[in-house]
């Protein structure tokens, strides 16, 4: 016969006067954690004791109850009650709800204390959010909720922000299929449909980091730190009706501007206002562009105005600042440390003097009437104004009636140059140009390894051309060899010598097709800095003085200047061959690219060191999926490639950018052919071209010393 289950008897509850309670030494909690005693006391004062104390009778030496009760479980609550009694907010004899366990119980006091602390389960963040939301819906403010639960108002606002996440994603989080950090990342964009779309795209992916979720949710937005947003101002953008996405859970640099079209319109309008103010100076034309390309002033002559002299008041102010600065320096020169107030004052004086010393330039009225201005944004979002550029057509001399020669002003309908008054009357021509953004439609992808797009090929080789210029510009010996190769070819080969990668006139090769990031690249800044240094030293404008200056230079300086000038004639750009005679031929292009490989090896060119990196914009987003996978395979191996092959092209390009960052991977066209161990298609033809090049040149031994000895080292990059 089955034995009946034994009935469970619960410990009885009763109210015990506070002065009869003592803290048990069997309480296992020794370390403070969580809510403080003071906060718990305030909570009990506000809402009463929500959980009874677990107590046992205190026995004397003979085992007789003394009327006192010890507390093995509930010690923090007891301490909070003690604080309230000490503050005289609770009576010393106030009844306290207690669960009383018999003294003879087989359950140890330590057992009760440990169980009470270990059996509790922390509230799920989603439950906390829903509870906060219920309190708000019943009339409590965020500040009141924060005060009631002793958290910062920002914590309440963050939990409330979870209300902007799609309900479907909240359920995913409730089932522990998503982390709290991932859920918080979805709050940057309140569009529920887009949130679900992003989750569906990444939920099966091996990588679904919060930063990736934020990036996908804000990919059509513009960061508030973007120079366009800095120039216009977020407040002006919002005043015009624009919305800003915010991230309450981490720093977001001011958020994301959700309406790029509105932002671009505001930038254009403000640039127009700035240009109209500059037009009052009488310039012939003003070109507006948010981002001027590298070499934007190619072919133009730059005017150099004279600094406007200081007024008497400005001279006096500058002298006063300088005197105070020197006095403070003298007074504190012997001190190891200068007080913060003095340091701030010295800095303020330096700034005031710098403002007075930076004088606006004054130009001749006739020069202003034929010259123009470029108005754009600098890298930090400030207004950039470059005055005094004269186009070639504005300098063509035409002899008018009278004894003086004047220049025709193209486009103004006159026969002679405009005076400043005439230019102001006709009005400055303000234009907004630059290359248009091309919509890159995603091509049909059949998985084949197709050739690189023509424009991308041109842009990549433009990067390589500029990097070659930079390295040749600081390699006088290589530059000399390159020049001799060109001159010997021109001298001893009367036909078939076209297609050299050096235009040795020297005529600067303008990179008409280029990626947007080219002008801000490391090599561009290096070339510009070196050019500015030479330009500042050279006595330009008088050939007699220039001749004497160059004649007096030491040999090292002459070679360095030769290398710099020669570098501007390098052309390693892959152009589309023209079968009808205009432009470069197919054979000429092959020869140019083969010779550029020889040059790259000679100067030890490394495009990774030159600052080029594969990104979605520069490469990965503009090639078929097969090429993206091939790049990851080369850099990370087949195993990593298999993790990407199921993704759509857009997601694949983004993931590939992350994986390739810092890997040193380069597309074939940017690699040093002598360092590339791969044997791609077309290699045989490249070897043939390089071999023919070596045979045709047939230079003397003393000129061949710096050139590769093996034909294989002269292969052209496909």
710 contacts: CB under 8 Å, gap ≥ 6: none
Distant-in-sequence contacts of 627-634, Cβ < 8 A, 24+ apart: 627/449, 627/450, 627/452, 628/652, 628/653, 628/656, 630/449, 631/656, 631/660, 631/665, 631/667, 632/656, 632/659, 632/660, 634/665, 634/678
Please give the Cα distance from 508 to 571 (Å, whole number): 9
Q: Which residue would you say has higher pLDDT here, 156 or 63?
A: 63
Categorize the per-residue pLDDT at 507 as very low, low, confident or very high, splitting at 50, 70 and 90: low
Cα 253 to its chain centre, rounded Å, is 11
**Helix, strand, coil % over all residues of the chain, rounded to 5:** 50, 10, 40
Strands 405-407 and 397-399: antiparallel
Please give the Cα distance from 242 to 318 (Å, whole number): 44
Please give the Cα distance from 432 to 426 (Å, whole number): 19
Q: Which residue would you say has higher pLDDT here, 511 or 266?
A: 266
**Which of 394-398, 425-429, 472-476, 500-504 tops mean pLDDT?**
472-476
> Backbone phi, then psi, for 72, in 5-degree steps?
-80, -25
| Mean pLDDT of the 72-96 span | 88
Confidence (pLDDT) at 143: 78
Lowest mean pLDDT among 247-251, 473-477, 570-574: 247-251
| Mean pLDDT of the 169-184 span | 81
Q: Does residue 168 surpass a pLDDT of 50? A: yes
Burial class (CB in 10 A: 0-12, 13-18, 19+), 633: middle
Categorize the per-residue pLDDT at 98 as very low, low, confident or very high, splitting at 50, 70 and 90: very high
**How many other CB atoms are found less than 10 A from the CB of residue 714?**
24
Confidence (pLDDT) at 417: 43
Q: What is the pLDDT of residues 677-700, one digit of tens each?
A: 443 333 444 444 444 444 444 434
Categorize the per-residue pLDDT at 593 as very low, low, confident or very high, splitting at 50, 70 and 90: confident
Cα torsion for 320, 321, 323, 327, to the nearest 10°?
140
Q: Does residue 521 surpass a pLDDT of 70? A: yes
Q: What is the pLDDT of residues 462-501, one digit of tens each?
A: 888 888 888 888 888 788 777 756 655 655 444 444 567 7
Lowest mean pLDDT among 166-170, 217-221, 343-347, 578-582: 578-582
> Backbone phi, then psi, for 695, in 5-degree steps?
-70, -40
Please give the Cα distance from 325 to 292 (Å, whole number): 40
Strands 372-377 and 285-288: parallel
CA atoms within 13 A on the CB side of 469: 31
**How many other CB atoms are found less than 10 A from the CB of residue 144?**
14
Q: What is the pLDDT of residues 143-154, one digit of tens each?
A: 777 666 666 676
Please give the Cα distance from 620 to 628 (Å, whole number): 6
| Mean pLDDT of the 545-551 span | 74
Q: What is the pLDDT of residues 618-651, one digit of tens each?
A: 888 888 888 889 989 988 888 888 888 888 888 8
Q: Does residue 405 surpass a pLDDT of 50? A: no
Ramachandran region of residue 67, left (φ > 0), alpha (ψ -120 to 50) or beta?
left
Share of the chain above pLDDT 90, in %: 2
Nearest Cα neighbor of 575 from 594, 589, 591 is 589
Please give the Cα distance from 45 to 85 (Å, whole number): 11
Lowest mean pLDDT among 9-13, 119-123, 333-337, 708-712: 708-712
558 contacts: CB under 8 Å, gap ≥ 6: 550
- Helices in 60-99 by DSSP H: which ranges? 75-86
Burial class (CB in 10 A: 0-12, 13-18, 19+), 53: buried
Categorize the per-residue pLDDT at 37 as very low, low, confident or very high, splitting at 50, 70 and 90: confident
Q: Does residue 409 surpass a pLDDT of 80? A: no
């Amino acid at each position: 016969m089955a034995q009946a289950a034994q009935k469970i008897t619960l410990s009885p509850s009763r109210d015990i006067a506070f002065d009869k309670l003592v803290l048990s030494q069997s309480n296992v909690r020794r370390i403070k954690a969580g809510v403080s005693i003071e906060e718990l006391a305030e909570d009990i004062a506000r809402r009463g004791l929500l959980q009874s104390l677990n107590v046992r009778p205190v026995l004397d030496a003979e085992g007789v109850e003394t009327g006192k009760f010890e507390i093995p479980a509930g010690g923090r609550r007891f301490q909070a009650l003690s604080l309230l009694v000490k503050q005289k907010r609770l009576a010393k004899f106030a009844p306290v709800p207690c669960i009383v366990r018999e003294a003879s119980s087989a359950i140890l006091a330590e057992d009760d204390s440990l169980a009470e602390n270990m059996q509790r389960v922390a509230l799920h963040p989603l439950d906390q959010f829903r509870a906060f939301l219920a309190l708000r819906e019943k009339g409590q403010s965020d500040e009141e909720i924060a005060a009631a639960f002793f958290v910062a108002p920002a914590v309440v606002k963050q939990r409330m922000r979870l209300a902007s996440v799609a309900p479907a994603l909240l359920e995913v989080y409730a089932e522990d299929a998503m982390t709290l950090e991932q859920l918080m990342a979805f709050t940057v964009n309140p569009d529920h449909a887009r949130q679900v779309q992003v989750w569906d795209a990444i939920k099966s992916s091996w990588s679904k980091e919060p930063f990736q979720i934020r990036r996908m949710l804000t990919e059509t937005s513009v960061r508030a730190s973007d120079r366009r947003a800095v120039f216009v101002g977020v407040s002006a953008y919002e005043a015009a009706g624009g919305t800003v996405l915010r991230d309450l859970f981490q720093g977001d640099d001011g958020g994301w501007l959700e309406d790029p079209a509105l932002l671009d319109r505001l930038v254009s309008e403000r640039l127009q206002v700035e240009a109209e103010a500059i037009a009052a100076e009488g310039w012939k034309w003003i070109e507006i562009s948010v981002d001027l390309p590298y070499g934007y002033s190619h072919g133009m002559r730059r005017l150099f105005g004279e600094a406007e002299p200081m007024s008497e008041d400005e001279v006096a102010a500058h002298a006063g600042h300088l005197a105070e600065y020197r006095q403070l320096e003298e007074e504190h020169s012997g001190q190891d440390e200068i007080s913060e107030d003095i340091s701030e004052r010295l800095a303020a004086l330096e700034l005031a003097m710098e403002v007075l010393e930076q004088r606006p330039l004054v130009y001749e009225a006739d020069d202003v009437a034929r010259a123009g201005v470029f108005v754009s944004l600098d890298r930090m979002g400030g207004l950039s104004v470059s005055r005094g550029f004269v186009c070639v057509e504005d300098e063509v001399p035409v002899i008018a009636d009278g004894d003086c020669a004047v220049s025709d002003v193209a486009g103004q309908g006159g026969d002679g140059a405009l005076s400043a008054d005439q230019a102001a009357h006709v009005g400055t021509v303000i234009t907004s140009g630059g290359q248009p953004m091309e919509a890159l439609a995603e091509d049909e992808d059949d998985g084949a390894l197709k050739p690189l797009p023509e424009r991308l090929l041109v842009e990549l080789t433009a990067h390589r051309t500029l990097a070659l210029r930079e390295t040749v510009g600081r390699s006088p010996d290589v530059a000399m060899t390159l020049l001799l190769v060109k001159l010997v070819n021109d001298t001893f080969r009367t036909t078939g010598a076209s297609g050299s990668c050096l235009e040795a006139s020297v005529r600067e090769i303008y990179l008409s097709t280029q990626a947007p990031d080219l002008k801000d690249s490391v090599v561009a800044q290096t070339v510009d800095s070196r050019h500015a240094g030479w330009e500042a030293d050279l006595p330009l404008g008088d050939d007699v003085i220039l001749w004497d200056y160059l004649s007096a230079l030491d040999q090292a300086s002459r070679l360095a200047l030769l290398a710099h000038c020669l570098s501007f004639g390098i052309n390693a750009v892959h152009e589309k061959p023209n079968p009808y005679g205009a432009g470069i031929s197919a054979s000429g292009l092959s020869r140019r690219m083969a010779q550029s490989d020889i040059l790259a090896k000679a100067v030890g060119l490394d495009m990774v060191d030159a600052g080029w990196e594969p990104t979605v914009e520069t490469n990965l987003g503009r090639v078929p999926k097969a090429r993206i996978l091939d790049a990851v395979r080369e850099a990370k191996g087949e195993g990593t490639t298999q993790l990407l092959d199921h993704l759509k092209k857009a997601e694949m390009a983004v993931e590939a950018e992350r994986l390739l960052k810092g890997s040193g991977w380069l597309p074939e066209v940017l690699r040093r052919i002598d360092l590339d161990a791969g044997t791609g298609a077309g290699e045989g033809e490249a070897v043939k071209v390089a071999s023919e090049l070596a045979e045709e040149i047939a230079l003397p031994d003393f000129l061949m010393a710096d050139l590769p000895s093996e034909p294989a080292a002269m292969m052209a990059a496909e």
